[in-house]
């Protein structure tokens, strides 16, 4: 939800609900119009909220980068955490080098545009070693960038 200002200067909140469309039986799944799910959400909003009206937008789409993982070794690990200082680092990959930004042939160049350390691994290492979680994550991401020959994060 987001804070907003309505007419006459009244403050309010915008509520966003994401739902999986169902096939009309209210069970969920992928298919039909999603009316069963929408009706259940509307009932909750109207019964437990103060609004008299709701705008419904359908067909929200999502775009995502392809993902790859690399493992990097940190100097902070302990044998007890089961990781031994190893952190998975998630790479967000864009394109395949043919200029259209879509990897449709599985060949060609690709660009790594995002490097993020796996939170759960960093947390486990941080808890065992006493090193701040941010420090573990920053080290893992920097190490992954170095090993992959990427420029450092600005």
Per the domain annotation, does 154 fall within a domain? no
What pTM value is reported for the model? 0.61
Tell me whether residue 6 is in a domain: yes
- For residue 35, the model assigns a pLDDT of 76
Dig out the tokens for 147 from the structure: 């090993």
Same domain membership, residue 86 and residue 141: yes
pLDDT at 130: 92
Enter the tokens of residue 144.
Answer: 């992954």
- Least confident window among 23-32, 63-72, 136-145: 23-32
SS3 81: helix
- Residues 76, 44, single domain; the answer is no
User: What pLDDT band is residue 28 in, cutting at 50, 70 and 90?
Assistant: very low
Q: What percent of the chain has pLDDT over 90?
A: 45
Q: DSSP 3-state assignment of 148?
A: helix
CB 11 within 8 A of CB 4: yes
- What are 67-121's pLDDT values in tens digits? 999 999 999 976 565 557 899 999 999 887 555 555 555 566 789 999 999 999 9
Using the Cα atoms of residue 61, residue 115, residue 109 and residue 70 in order, give the sign of their dihedral.
negative
Q: How many domains does the chain have?
A: 2
Same domain, 71 and 38: no
**Alpha carbons within 13 A on the beta-carbon side of 104:** 5
Give the structural domain span for 25.
2-48
Contact partners, residue 75, CB within 8 Å, separation at least 6: 85, 139
Integer Cα distance of 17 and 57 in angstroms: 10
Let me know: does 120 contact 83? Beta carbons within 8 Å. no
- CA–CA distance, 87 with 85 (Å, rounded to integer): 6
In a domain, 53, yes or no: no
Residue 134's domain is classified under what CATH number? Answer: 3.10.20.300
Structural domain includes residue 14: yes
In this structure, is residue 29 part of a structural domain?
A: yes
pLDDT of residue 59: 78
DSSP structural state of residue 16: -
32 in a domain, yes or no? yes
- Quote the pLDDT of residue 145: 96
Mean pLDDT along residues 15-44: 70
Between residues 31 and 71, which one has the greater pLDDT?
Answer: 71
Q: Provide the token pair at 9.
A: 């200067």
């Amino acid at each position: 939800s987001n804070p907003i200002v309505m007419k006459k200067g009244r403050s309010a909140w915008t509520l966003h609900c994401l739902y999986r469309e169902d096939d009309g039986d209210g069970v969920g799944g992928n298919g039909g119009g999603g009316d069963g799910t929408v009706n259940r959400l509307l009932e909750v909003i109207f019964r437990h909220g103060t609004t008299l009206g709701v705008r419904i937008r359908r067909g929200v789409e999502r775009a995502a980068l392809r993902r790859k993982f690399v493992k990097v070794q940190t100097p902070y690990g302990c044998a007890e955490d089961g990781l031994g200082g190893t952190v998975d680092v998630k790479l967000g990959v864009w394109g395949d080098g043919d200029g259209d930004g879509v990897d449709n042939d599985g060949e060609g160049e690709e660009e790594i545009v995002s490097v993020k350390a796996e939170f759960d691994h960093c947390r486990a290492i941080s808890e065992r070693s006493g090193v701040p979680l941010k420090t573990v994550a920053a080290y893992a991401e920097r190490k992954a960038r170095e090993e992959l020959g990427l420029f450092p994060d600005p």
